[in-house]
Amino acid sequence: MTAEKQQGDEIVLKGIPASPGIAIGPVFIFHKDGPIIQERSIHGHEVEAELNRLGDALVRSKKELTKIAEFAEKKLGVKQAKIFEAQLMILEDVVLFDSIRNRLRNELKNIEYVLRGEIGKYHALMLASKDEYTRERASDVEDVQNRIVRNLQEQRLVSKIAGSHIIVTKNLTAADALILSRNDVLGYITEIGGATSHMALLARALKIPSIVGIHDFCTIVHKEDSVVLDGYSGTVVINPSAETLKKFRSKQEEHREFEVHLELLRDLPAETLDGHRVKLAANVELEEELEFVKSQGAEGIGLYRTETLLLGKEVFPTEEEQYRQYKIIAAGAFPQNVIVRTFDIGGDKLMAHSIKENNPFLGWRGIRVMLDEPKIFMDQLRAILRASAQKNVSIMFPMISHVKEVRKAKEMLHAAKEQLAAKNIPFDNDIEVGVMVEVPAAAVIADDLAREVDFLSIGTNDLIQYLLAVDRGNDVVSGLYQEFHPAVVRFLRRIIERGKGEKVWVGMCGEMAGDPLATMLLLGLGLDEFSVVPHILPEIKKIIRSVHYSEAKHLANRVLEMDTEDEIKSYMKEVMRKKIPDILLE
C-alpha cells in the first residue's frame, strides 16, 4: 500500500482490486469487535434470573445461527453452510453449559463473566495447539461466545444501514458480505484479504466494486467521509477534490458505455482484423461463476481450479463428491470445453504429514504431491474421467518439471480409464491432456513435454516468480516481479515456439493473459489461447478485434530486441493508444 497526500485533505491509497467497478459515496465503518464483558458479583437470589438470561440467549443464538446457515446454503452452497455447523453443535453442548451453570452458582458472578471464563479455557487451549486445523476452530469457539454474550446484552449486530454507503471494515467474511448486501451497498473496502478470497468472489458475483488489503484503512478514513473506490485499479481516494471526482465520474461513464457494447461483443469471435483467430476462455473456481462467464462471452473454461473443493474441508473429498462437483461444472459449461487442473496444493494440506518446509514454494507441491499420493490422485483422475462423459472435459497437470512426471501421470490416467471401463462406467477415452508450464525447467524442455501431451498452458504467476527469483508476497522485492522483463518475454516466445513446433496448442492461464497491455504482445508471439478472469474478457476481445495479427507480430519482434521493462512498456502503451484510443490502460 502506498499513500500520498495531495491537495490538502485528499488522500490517495492503493489496495488490491477484488471486484471491478467504480463507486463514489460516503463510507460506513463497520465494526465487528467482541462485546465488552464486565465482572460483577451477584447475590444468591439473582442466580435464577442469570440462568434464565442464559437460556434466552442460547435460544436466540441458535435461531440466528440456523438462519445464517440456511442463508449461506442458499447463496453459497451446502459446503459453506457447514462452517456454522460446528458452532451450532457447541451451543448444544450439555456438559459445557452444565459446568457454566455450576460455576455461576458457586462463584456468584454474572453469567457473561462465567461464560467467557469457561469457554475461554477451551479457546486458549485450541489456539495453543500444534495442529493448524484446531487453531482455526478456535475462532469458531470465540464467535459462539461473542454471539451468546451479544444476545445476553441484547445487542444487535449492525446489519441494517440507512442510505447508500461504501462499507469499510477490517475483514469481511463471505457471510458478512452477503448479509450486508441486503442494504444499499455501493462497495466494500477491507484492510485484510486477497483477491481470490471467498468474499472477493462473492462481491464479483453480486457486482459490488471492492478493494482489499489496505492496511489500517479503518483508522485513516472517518465516518461519512466521501470516497472514490476504483475496483479496476485498486485505487481509493478519500475526500476527492472536484477535479478527481470529475475524472472518476467520467471513468464510471466510460465503463458503463463499454459494458453496453458487451452485448455485441459477446457473440463475436476473438479474431484480429486480418482474420487470425485465438481462443478466449475463462478461469473459474466456483459453479456460481458459470453464468457470468457465459454472459461475458467466454468460449470455454481454460482453467478450472479444483483446490476450492478442499477449502475448509478436513479430509480430501471422495471420488463421488468430486465427480458430482466436476459434473456440475462440465454440464454448466457444455457444449464448451472445461480444462480441469488436478489438485495444485502444497504438501502441508495433507494432514498426515506435518512437515514444515523451509521453502514450500520449491518443495512438495503440485504434481509432486499427487504422484506421491496415488490413492488421492486416482480418486481425482477417476472423478474427472467420469465427468468427461459428454466429451467436453480436458485435464491438466500443474507444476510439471520433468517428462517422467508427465509419463507417470499419464500411466495413472490410463489405469483409471481401465478401472472405469471394467465397470462399464462411461468416460471420454480421447480426453485431452495438457500440462502447466510454470517451472522454468518445463519451459526449457517445452518441446519434449509437447510430444507427450495435447496442449501446454503457461502459468505466468509462478513462472515469473521462479524465473526472476522474486517472491510476489515479499513487500521488499515485489516490485521486481515484472511481466515484461525481457527474460520473461523471451521465455514466452520459446515456450510458444517449441510447443507449436510439436503441433500442440499453447495457451496461457496466468494473470498476464488478462493484462490488456500484454494482449498484442502475446498475440504476436503466437499464443493460441487466452484464459482470463471473467470480468476482463470483453476488454481483451476488444483489443484482439481492433488490431492486425501482422502488427502484433511486428510489435512482438520489436519488444524481443529491447532490454528493459520500461522501454518495452512505454513502446507497447504508445502502439496501443494509437490503435485503440478508447482502451482503458492503467
Partner 1 sequence: MVQQVVTIRNRAGMHTRPAAALVKLAAKYKADFFIEKDEFEINGKSIIGVMTLAAEQGSTMLLKLDGEDEQEALKDIVALVERGFDE
Is the separation of the CB atoms in 384 and 330 below 8 Å? Answer: no
In this structure, which amino acid lies at residue 136? E
Q: How far is the CB of 136 from partner 1 (least distance, A)?
A: 10
**Minimum distance from residue 105 beta carbon to partner 1 (Å):** 19
Closer of 140 and 483 to partner 1 (Cβ): 140
Q: What is the largest CA-CA distance in the chain?
A: 90
The least distance separating partner 1 from the CB of residue 88, rounded to whole angstroms, comes to: 10
Going by C-alpha positions, the residue among 287, 298, 185 that lies closest to residue 535 is 298
Let me know: does 514 contact 536? Beta carbons within 8 Å.
yes
Q: Out of 93, 225, 271, 448, which residue is the one contacting partner 1 (CB under 8 A)?
A: 93
Nearest residue (CB) to partner 1, 104 versus 436: 104
Among 23, 90, 387, 506, binds partner 1 (CB under 8 A): 90
C-beta atoms surrounding 498 within 10 Å? 21
Tell me: does residue 96 bind partner 1 (CB under 8 A).
yes
How many whole angstroms separate alpha carbon 275 and alpha carbon 269? 10
CA distance 16 to 119: 36
Question: Which backbone phi and psi does 495 adopt, to 5 degrees?
Answer: -60, -50
Q: Could you count the other beta carbons within 10 Å of the beta carbon of residue 318?
A: 11
**Is position 321 an interface residue for partner 1 (rule: CB under 8 A)?**
no
77 Cβ neighbours under 8 A, 6+ residues apart: 287, 288
* Residue-wise burial string across 108-117, b where 16 or more C-beta atoms lie within 10 A, e elsewhere: bbbbbbbbbe
CA nearest to 442, candidates 425, 460, 424: 460
Strand pairing report for 184-190 and 210-212: parallel
**Which residue number, 133 or 361, has a Cβ lying nearer to partner 1?**
133
Size of the site for partner 1 (CB under 8 A): 27
Nearer to partner 1, 133 or 334 (CB): 133
Nearest to 143 by CA among 297, 33, 5: 33
Cβ proximity to partner 1: between 69 and 509 the closer is 69
Out of 123, 198, 255, 276, the active site residue is 198
Task: Give the residue with the Cβ less far from partner 1, 92 or 216.
Answer: 92
Closest by alpha carbon to 217, among 237, 198, 197, 232? Answer: 237
Q: Which is nearer to partner 1, 89 or 477 (CB)?
A: 89
Q: How far apart are CA 33 and CA 64, in angstroms?
A: 18
Q: Which is nearer to partner 1, 108 or 138 (CB)?
A: 138
Q: How far is the CB of 125 from partner 1 (least distance, A)?
A: 5
Binding mask 286-315 for partner 1 (x = CB under 8 A): ----------------------------xx
Residues in CB range of 165: below 8 A, 6 or more apart: 25, 26, 27, 28, 183, 184, 185, 186
Site for partner 1 in 102-141 (CB under 8 A): 119, 122, 125-126, 129-131, 133-134, 137, 141
Stretch that binds partner 1, among 22-30, 88-96, 273-281, 553-561 (CB under 8 A): 88-96
Could you tell me the smallest distance in angstroms from the CB atom of residue 372 to partner 1?
Answer: 14
| Look-up of cell digits 491537495 | 7
C-alpha cell recorded at residue 380? 481425482
Indicate the residue among 29 and 90 with the shorter CB distance to partner 1: 90
Task: Report CA Rg, the chain.
Answer: 27
Angle (CA) 69 70 74, round 5°: 115
Look up 509 and say whether it is catalytic: yes
Query: Which among 123, 276, 485, 509 is annotated as catalytic?
Result: 509
With contact defined as beta carbons under 8 Å apart, do 394 and 431 qualify? yes
Q: Minimum CB separation from partner 1 for residue 235, in Å?
A: 41
Provide, rounded to whole angstroms, the least separation between the CB of residue 350 and partner 1. 8
> Could you count the other beta carbons within 10 Å of the beta carbon of residue 294?
15
Task: Say how far apart CA 451 and CA 479 lie, in whole Å.
Answer: 36
Considering beta carbons, is residue 57 or 126 the nearer one to partner 1?
126
Q: Which of 92, 154, 184, 216 binds partner 1 (CB under 8 A)?
A: 92
Per-residue binding string, partner 1, 331-350, x by CB under 8 A, is -------------------x
User: Residues 78, 158, 351, 487: which binds partner 1 (CB under 8 A)?
Assistant: 351
372 binds partner 1 (CB under 8 A): no
Least distance from partner 1 to the Cβ atom of residue 260, Å: 48
CB half-sphere exposure, 49, CA atoms < 13 A: 8
Q: Can you state the percent helix, strand and coil of the chain, rounding each to 5?
A: 55, 15, 30
Looking at 102, 153, 159, 354, which residue binds partner 1 (CB under 8 A)? 354
Shortest distance in whole angstroms from residue 496 CB to partner 1: 41
Binding mask of the shown chain, residues 27 to 66, with x at each position contacting partner 1 by CB under 8 A: ----------------------------------------
**Contact residue for partner 1 among 36, 242, 260, 352 (CB under 8 A):** 352
- For residue 287, give the DSSP letter: G
Instruction: Pick the piece of the chain touching partner 1 (CB under 8 A) from 59-67, 89-97, 152-160, 394-402.
Output: 89-97
Q: How far apart are CA 501 and CA 456, in angstroms?
A: 12
Q: CB of 96: closest distance to partner 1 in angstroms?
A: 5
Residues across the chain: 586
Q: Is 198 a catalytic residue?
A: yes
Binding footprint of partner 1 on the chain (CB under 8 A):
85-86, 89-90, 92-96, 119, 122, 125-126, 129-131, 133-134, 137, 141, 314-316, 350-352, 354
Known catalytic residues are 198, 509
